[in-house]
Amino acid sequence: MGNSTTVQSVDRAIAILELLARDGATRVTDLAAELDVHKSTAFRLLASLEQGGLVEQTADRGRYRLGFGLVRLAGAVTAQLDLSRESRPVCLRLAEGIGETVNIAVPRNGDPVNISQVRGPAAISGHNWVGQRTPSHATSSGKVLLAFGALRPPAELERYTPHTITSAEQLGLEEIRERGWACAVEELEVGLNAVAAPIRGADGSVVAAVSASGPSYRLTPQRLPEVAELLVKGAREISQRIGYYG
C-alpha cells in the first residue's frame, strides 16, 4: 500500500470516528454514503477500527458505535493533562526556590518525554524541553523512571559526553531506589547537571519524574543533595495532588 493510500485510509478512519461521535450507532451503508466510498471499503475500515477496540457492533449487527478503546485512550490523555495541571503550582514554587529550570517527564514508548517546563529566576535562556524525548540513561528523570520500573533500560547506552554512563550495571538503579532521587552530572551535555525525584500515581507506581537542571557551575555536584531534598518533597506533593496517598 502506497503512502498516499495509507494517508487516505487514516483520513477516512478518522472521519468514521467523527461521524459515529456525531450520529451514534450507524449502519455501514450510511457511513459509506457519507464518506462517498464503496460499502466494502467502509466495512474494511470499520473492521480495522473494531480490531483496535475503537468501534464496536451493537446488538443490531448491522450498526456500529464508538468502542471502549477510546475510553482508554482518552484516559491516558486526561491523566497527562491532570499531571501537567496539578504539578504546575508545585513546579513554579520549586523553580523559584531552586532558581533553575524544573521539568516534568513521563515515560513514552521507551523514553522520557518532558510534558511541562518552568524556568527559575536564575535560569539562563536555553533549550525548551517540552515535547522532547531524552535518553533515559543520560538524564536524571530517565534514571528515576528506570530505577522504579516505569522504563526499561535501552539495549545500547549511547555516549553523549565523556561523562555518559554506558554500562547498565553502573547506572546505580538500586541506589537511586534506596535514596529516592537520581542525578546526571554532565552526562547529556557538557556543562549541564540535573537531579530528579519520582512522582507516583494513585496506585503507587511511579508515573513521572520532576527534575531541576542548570549549568554545572551553579548546580554543582555538592548542591545536588540539597536540591534533591526539595524535589522529593515537591514530588510527594504532586503525587498527592494526582491521587496518591501512600
Q: Domain ranges for the chain, please list them.
A: 3-67, 79-241
Is the separation of the CB atoms in 35 and 15 below 8 Å?
yes
Predicted pLDDT of residue 72: 66
> Which CATH number is associated with domain 79-241?
3.30.450.40
Which grid cell is 201?
A: 500515581
Predicted pLDDT of residue 81: 58
Reported pTM = 0.70
Helix, strand or coil for residue 198? strand
Is the separation of the CB atoms in 218 and 122 below 8 Å?
yes
Amino acid in position 105: A
Predicted pLDDT of residue 244: 84
Burial of residue 160 (number of CB atoms within 10 Å: 0-12, 13-18, 19+):
middle
Predicted pLDDT of residue 1: 47
**C-alpha gyration radius of the chain:** 23
| Residue carrying C-alpha cell 456500529 | 64
CA distance 135 to 101: 18
Terminus-to-terminus CA distance in the chain, angstroms? 51
Is the separation of the CB atoms in 94 and 212 below 8 Å?
yes
> Would you state the CATH architecture of domain 3-67?
Orthogonal Bundle (1.10)
Give DSSP secondary structure letters for 48-87. Answer: HHHHTTSEEE-SSTTEEEE-THHHHHHHHHHHHHHHHHHH
Amino acid in position 9: S
pLDDT tens sequence for the chain (246 residues): 456 667 788 888 888 888 888 888 888 888 999 889 998 998 899 988 988 888 888 876 678 888 878 766 665 555 565 798 889 999 999 999 999 999 999 999 899 999 999 998 877 655 677 888 899 999 999 999 999 999 998 999 999 999 999 999 999 999 999 999 999 999 999 999 999 999 998 889 999 999 999 999 999 999 999 999 999 999 999 999 888 877
* DSSP H/E element including 13: helix 3-23
Is the separation of the CB atoms in 233 and 212 below 8 Å?
no
